[in-house]
Amino acid sequence: MIREAEKSDAARIAEIYNYYVENSFVTFEVDRVSEDEMAKRIQGCLESDLPWLVAEHKRSVIGYCYASPWKGRCAYRYSVESTVYLDISLTSKGWGTKLYNELLARLKKRGIHVVISGIALPNKASVALHEKFGMEKVAHFKEVGRKFERWIDVGYWQCLI
Task: Tell me which long-range contacts 100-106 makes (C-beta under 8 A, separation of at least 24).
Answer: 100/65, 100/129, 100/132, 100/133, 102/2, 102/51, 102/53, 103/51, 103/53, 103/65, 103/66, 103/67, 104/133, 104/161, 106/51, 106/53
In tens, the pLDDT along 122-149 reads 999 999 999 999 999 999 999 999 999 9
State the pLDDT at residue 89.
Answer: 83
In tens, the pLDDT along 67-92 reads 999 998 999 999 999 999 999 987 77
Say yes or no to pLDDT of 93 above 80: no
Domains of the chain by residue range: 2-160
Q: What percent of the chain has pLDDT over 70?
A: 100
State the pLDDT at residue 116.
Answer: 98
CATH number, span 2-160: 3.40.630.30
Q: What is the mean pLDDT of residues 9-13?
A: 97
pTM for this entry = 0.92
Report which DSSP code applies to 148. Answer: T
